[in-house]
Structure 1
Amino acid sequence: MADSPVLYPRERVRHKDFYIDVNFRVIYEDEDILVLHKPAPLAVHPVGSYSELNIHSLLKKDPRWANMKIRFAHRLDAETSGVLLIAKHYEAARFLGKEFIAGRVKKKYHAVVFGCPEALSGVIDLPLGHDGSSGFQTVRIVDRENGETAKTHYRILHSNGEYSVVELQPRTGRTHQLRAHMSFIGYPIVGDKIYIDLKIFSRYVVHGLDEEMLAQLKMKRLALHASELSFTHPRTHEWVTFNSDMPEDIRLFIATIGEQCEAKR
């Protein structure tokens, strides 16, 4: 289903050393659910640099949703763009919550990663836990003893050897799962300030983005897009699928990638 026009005219908002893209779009809406295309960078909840500009705050400022209790069915990182599902009432939220917990919701992402994996496709089955030594609450590492089960299916779409475009389907929903998994197997996502090198993130939170960091990251934001979300509708119980087109910044980066990597099945 195609994206609808922008809700109302807005521009990218300057915030400190970067721009927050506030131009989210409605993909679909009915009496039970609201499906949005979330741009990046833009947080879902009020947090840190996004305390005033975030999906929750922007929805509450719009008269169409000002009186609605916003219940996010899942989350996307601020620097991840794509399909975001919101339940419009308690019953829908309860139903969707159970679907997510049971693993019946299907998610598909597209990303650009560094390098070219030898295998064309595979499953990354590595438990993830909190990295207590990092100094950052959200950082995840592979923890084979105490970590939570985490599984990701990946498929290489094309590559030039230096970069690869990959389709990712998480079978579980752990924090930073896709980012941590791709980094651990040696192919971090382009633009990832945490999992390319944590030293980058440590500098970034203090000084902001500089040219040296950008030379390592290759993109100002994470090259990760939530392209498809499929689930059972809470009222009709029909299987529905919603898509979000790849944003321009990632498309332009992908346009530079050929198909020279000889990936193996």
Structure 2
Amino acid sequence: MDLLSRLLHRDGLMLVIDKPAGVPVHRGPKGGPSLEDAFDQLRFGLPRAPALAHRLDKDTSGCLVLGRHRKALDRLGKLFKTGRVGKTYWAVVEGAPEGDAGEIDLALGRLDAARGWWMRPDPLGLPSRTGWRVLGRSADGARAFVEFTPHTGRTHQIRVHAQAMGWPILGDPVYGHGRREGAPPLHLHARAITIPMQDSKPPVSVTAPAPEHMREALAACGWRAAADALRELPNASEALKLVD
């Protein structure tokens, strides 16, 4: 796997890569290939390969942060744990959210021990909050393009919250209709991340382009590739007025 071509950000402390969908970030109990297998490509002269600062689900694409050494990993771990890392996700959902924006405040707990990481709404579970806003809708109203902003970091938080609202993420094999034969892959993308890595410097902000497998469904909900390309450029806010 070529990770060099997927590098979005590099500095002395961390890297951000554009994780491809369908690849686990690390080896599971059954083994098999994972993203970590290719981390040696990203050493850039350091004696050790970078390591994961957090994780994304196997079928989720987008911004994935790696720490380049132990001190950086310790700093990143604290930032993620204390909720100081800003995260933005894009998704295509099945259904029609009422209104254009809101916040989901719904505690989550384990479904049961046998299901591993599967989660469910649970009033006795851990507090979980996710902001959302609709960025576009399909002409028939059957799908919507939604931006999610998780304020807590629970396992599968966005996926469970979307299901609980009545609009599961397109292609979700666990919480949606993705187990059907011929179903599309999960349409969930870690669009952007903001990391206040050093208090004396501005936060590092990184954006990952819309993945190929989501572009058709996004376009059907009003997304335009030209506008998206402008958003990936620095200081693009003025240029966006010409296309949005």
Would you call these one fold, judging by a TM-score over 0.5? Answer: yes
2:7 is matched with which residue? 26
Residue matched to 1:150: 128
Question: Which residue of the partner structure matches residue 137 of structure 2?
Answer: 159
Structure 2: distance between partners of 1:32 and 1:231 = 12
- Residue segments in structure 2 that go unaligned for 5+ positions in a row: 224-244
**Which residue identity does 2:158 align to in structure 1?**
L
- TM-superposed CA distance for 1:121, in Å, is 0.5
Cα offset, 1:197, TM superposition: 5.2
| Residue identity opposite 1:155 in structure 2 | R
Structure 1 residue 63: Cα displacement:
6.7
Instruction: State the identity as a percent.
Output: 34
* Matching of residue 188 in structure 1 with residue 190 in structure 2: no
- Residues 25 and 57, structure 2, Cα contact 8 Å, conserved in 1: yes
Alignment partners' CA distance in 2, 1:7 and 1:138: 27
Contact 2:170–2:177, Cα closer than 8 Å, also in 1:
no
The Cα of 1:66 is off from its aligned counterpart by 8.6
Could you tell me whether the CA contact under 8 Å between 1:60 and 1:66 is conserved in 2? no
1:84 alignment partner in structure 2: 64
Corresponding residue for residue 118 of structure 1: 98
Map of 1:170 onto structure 2: 150
* 1:109 partnered with 2:89: yes
Q: 2:23 aligns to what?
A: 42
The 1:245/1:74 distance shift into structure 2, 3 A limit, reads: same
Matches within 5 A, 1:132-147: 132=112, 135-145=114-124, 147=125
- 2:181 maps to which of 213, 219, 234: 213
Do residues 233 (structure 1) and 201 (structure 2) align? no
* 1:94 matches 2:74: yes
Deviation at 1:60, TM superposition (A): 3.1
Deviation for aligned residue 1:71: 2.7
- The verdict on how the C-alpha distance between 1:193 and 1:84 changes in structure 2, with shifts beyond 3 A counting, is same
Q: Does structure 1 conserve the Cα–Cα contact (< 8 Å) formed by 2:52 and 2:66?
A: yes
Within 2, Cα distance between the matches of 1:236 and 1:75? 27
Identify if the C-alpha distance between structure 1 residues 120 and 62 changes in structure 2 by more than 3 Å, giving closer, same or farther.
closer
What SS does the aligned partner of 1:213 have? coil
SS at match of 2:58: coil
Looking at structure 1, the residues matched to 220 and 175 of structure 2 have their Cα atoms a distance apart, in angstroms, of 23
Residue 139 and residue 65 in structure 1: after superposition, are their counterparts in 2 closer, same or farther (change >3 A)? farther
RMSD: 2.3
The aligned amino acid for 1:143 is D
State the TM-score, normalizing by the size of structure 1.
0.76
Contact 2:39 2:49 in 1 (8 A): no
Task: After TM superposition, give the deviation of residue 238 of structure 1 in Å.
Answer: 2.5
Alpha-carbon contact 2:43-2:50 (below 8 Å) kept: no
Deviation at 1:233, TM superposition (A): 2.0
Q: Which amino acid aligns with 1:166?
A: V
Decide which of 75, 92, 109 is 1:129's aligned counterpart.
109
Stretch deviating more after TM superposition (91-100 or 32-41):
91-100
1:72 and 2:36 aligned = no
Match of 2:214 in 1: 250
Q: What is the identity, as a one-letter code, of the residue corresponding to 1:113?
A: V
CA deviation map 1:181-202 (0-9, x unaligned): 000110000010000159x3xx
Deviations 1:117-168 (A, max 9, x none): 11210000000000017x31011000102x0111000001111210000000
